[in-house]
């Protein structure tokens, strides 16, 4: 099922035409209304009239998170203040948040993106969609909410946290879909398993999980699907571009369709800043083709992935993005080796003995990096069988060595001892002082 069949299945030629028309318009709009863009384009000796189609996009300068910080709070807004109807913000690890402002049209485009995703997951007005992403400045809660509303589903806006109440309402009202981060879904699943009054197959009506906001692996998908007896779908997005629903998977689950009629994607080499050949991994860059409040042009997301332009069996013609490996700024360099937390997760999840909870600590002792991985066993296996635990620890250590190229100190942690997250999980602590 499609939410907007005409757009989702339009021919690539038609899409190219639509994107080009929209790009020409947005470039002129930002040049005319935002000093930041005017200055940047002038510095790069490019004028709006140089942009005739999306084939000219590489003439335009890039934009970074730092630009958004430097021009905080209103410096990259293009619409007059009175037409902004909502703000959201994403808090980075340091400094000022990134603030985004939306006009009513922006909110309508955003909810259409989410509605396309929810429809692709098989959801409709017949569903009860429990939104356990946080409501507030974070785009997850209200973004999923507006999309659910748009398809006419009944929305259960529980927001994040208060897990026992979430479970009670999920059971009593019969939620059929759950929207939250994969790490919170794992915590909810564990809580359901540990609840003596709940039999998941009897009491829980969930059929679909709408998971995103953080990298998660195929092995984590399997774990969540089997624990919650659902089909788990990926939803992607970021505040700077709109929020959740910049793209989502379809029933084929073979990549995340990006809604290219609204968000033009590119993949560049983060060092040379040149486009990479189709299919190669690099940094994802977006240009918003319709946004009025705070458009972004060639915005460097830092997310590392690849794009697949081959046709999907579902009939959608929109490009598919591979799973996000991580953000270039989340990558750890440990003893000179590049380590992505998502790769560590994927190795841990190869072992059915672990429950998916882990924590990585990196430090520097006597000028040498230390790399510790704490990982929880499933409760039923944490039974004092020391030789079994030691064997498992060894097996995980050597598997990490072969995949990561670096040897971690693995610690088998007591079930429940690693802090659970209600939103985006924090899996890493880097204590090194650079």
Structure tokens that stand for 385 in this block: 């069988």
Nearer to ligand DLL, 185 or 418 (CB): 185
Tell me the residue nearest to ligand DLL as measured from the CB.
Answer: 212
Q: Considering the complex, what minimum distance in angstroms separates the CB of residue 324 from ligand DLL?
A: 4
Query: How many Å apart are CA 254 and CA 204, to the nearest integer?
Result: 27
Nearer to ligand DLL, 127 or 240 (CB): 240
Query: How many Å apart are CA 81 and CA 210, to the nearest integer?
Result: 33
- Give the list of residues 6+ apart from residue 65 with CB closer than 8 angstroms, or none: 92, 98, 240, 300, 302
Nearer to ligand DLL, 153 or 324 (CB): 324
Other Cβ atoms within 10 Å of 214 Cβ, number: 20
Query: How many Å apart are CA 264 and CA 250, to the nearest integer?
Result: 19
Query: How many Å apart are CA 125 and CA 166, to the nearest integer?
Result: 21
Q: Considering the complex, what minimum distance in angstroms separates the CB of residue 108 from ligand DLL?
A: 18
Q: Considering the complex, what minimum distance in angstroms separates the CB of residue 80 from ligand DLL?
A: 25
Query: Taking the mean position of all CA atoms in its chain, how far away is CA 29?
Result: 28
Nearer to ligand DLL, 244 or 255 (CB): 244
- Give the list of residues 6+ apart from residue 345 with CB closer than 8 angstroms, or none: 215, 216, 217, 219, 220, 356, 358, 427
Q: Considering the complex, what minimum distance in angstroms separates the CB of residue 380 from ligand DLL?
A: 30
Over the range 262-282, which residues count as b (16 or more CB within 10 Å of their CB) and which as e?
A: bbbbbbbeeeeeeebeeeeeb
Q: In what order do the strands lie in the sheet with 320-321?
A: 154-156, 128-131, 177-180, 208-212, 231-237, 244-249, 256-258, 320-321, 307-308
Q: Considering the complex, what minimum distance in angstroms separates the CB of residue 244 from ligand DLL?
A: 4
Q: Considering the complex, what minimum distance in angstroms separates the CB of residue 66 from ligand DLL?
A: 15
- Give the list of residues 6+ apart from residue 293 with CB closer than 8 angstroms, or none: 77, 78, 79, 83, 84, 100, 101, 102, 103, 106
Q: Considering the complex, what minimum distance in angstroms separates the CB of residue 328 from ligand DLL?
A: 10
Q: Considering the complex, what minimum distance in angstroms separates the CB of residue 400 from ligand DLL?
A: 22
Q: Considering the complex, what minimum distance in angstroms separates the CB of residue 246 from ligand DLL?
A: 8
Structure tokens that stand for 113 in this block: 């993106």
Q: Considering the complex, what minimum distance in angstroms separates the CB of residue 214 from ligand DLL?
A: 5
CA proximity to 16, closest of 321, 320, 294, 317 = 317
Q: Considering the complex, what minimum distance in angstroms separates the CB of residue 8 from ligand DLL?
A: 19
> Could you please report the per-residue DSSP string of 170-231?
HHHHT--EEEE-HHHHHHHHHHHHH-TT--HHHH----EEEEESS---HHHHHHHHHHHTSE
Structure tokens that stand for 170 in this block: 């999920």
CA distances from residue 311 to 12, 14, 234, 314, 319 in whole angstroms, order as listed: 10, 15, 19, 9, 8
Nearer to ligand DLL, 20 or 342 (CB): 342
Binding residues for ligand DLL, per CB under 6 A?
90, 133, 139-140, 143, 212-215, 234-239, 243-244, 301, 303, 324, 327
Nearer to ligand DLL, 31 or 187 (CB): 187
Give the angle subtended at the CA of 112 by the CAs of 110 and 115, to the nearest 5°.
Answer: 115
């Amino acid at each position: 099922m499609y939410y907007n069949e005409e757009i989702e299945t339009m021919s690539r030629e038609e899409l190219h035409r639509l994107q080009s028309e929209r790009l020409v318009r947005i470039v002129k709009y930002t040049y005319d209304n935002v000093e930041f863009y005017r200055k940047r384009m002038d510095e790069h000796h490019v004028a709006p009239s140089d942009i005739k189609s999306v084939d000219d996009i590489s003439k335009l300068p890039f934009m970074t998170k730092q630009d958004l910080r430097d021009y905080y709070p209103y410096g990259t807004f293009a619409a007059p203040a009175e037409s902004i109807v909502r703000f959201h913000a994403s808090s980075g690890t340091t400094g000022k948040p990134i603030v985004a402002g939306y006009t009513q049209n922006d909110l309508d485009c955003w909810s259409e993106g989410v509605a396309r995703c929810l429809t692709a997951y098989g959801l409709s007005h017949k569903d009860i969609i429990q939104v356990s992403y946080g409501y507030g400045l974070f785009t997850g809660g209200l973004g999923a909410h507006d999309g659910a509303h748009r398809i006419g589903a009944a929305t259960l806006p529980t927001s994040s946290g208060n897990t026992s109440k979430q479970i009670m309402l999920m059971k009593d009202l019969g939620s059929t879909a759950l929207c939250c981060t994969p790490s919170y879904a794992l915590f909810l699943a564990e809580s359901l398993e540990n609840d003596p009054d709940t039999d998941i197959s009897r009491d829980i009506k969930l059929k679909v999980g709408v998971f995103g906001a953080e990298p998660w692996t195929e092995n984590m998908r399997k774990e969540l699907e089997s624990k919650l007896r659902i089909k788990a779908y990926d939803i992607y997005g970021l505040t700077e571009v709109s929020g959740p629903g910049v793209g989502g998977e379809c029933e084929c689950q073979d990549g995340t369709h990006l809604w290219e009629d609204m968000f033009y994607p590119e993949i560049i080499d983060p060092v040379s800043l040149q486009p990479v050949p189709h299919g190669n991994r690099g940094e994802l860059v977006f240009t918003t083709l319709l946004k009025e409040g705070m458009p972004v042009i060639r915005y460097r997301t830092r997310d590392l992935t690849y794009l697949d332009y081959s046709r999907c069996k579902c009939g959608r013609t929109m490009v598919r993005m591979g799973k996000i490996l991580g953000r270039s700024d989340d990558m750890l360099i440990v003893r000179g080796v590049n380590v992505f937390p998502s790769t560590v997760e994927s190795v841990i999840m190869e072992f059915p003995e672990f429950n998916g909870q882990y924590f990585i600590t990196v430090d520097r002792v006597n000028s040498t990096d230390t790399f510790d991985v704490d990982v929880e066993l499933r409760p039923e296996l944490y039974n004092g069988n020391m030789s079994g635990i030691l064997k498992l620890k060894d097996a995980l250590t050597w598997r990490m060595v072969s995949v990561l190229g670096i040897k971690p100190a693995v610690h088998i942690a007591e079930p429940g001892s690693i802090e659970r997250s209600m939103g985006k999980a924090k899996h890493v602590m880097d204590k090194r002082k650079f």
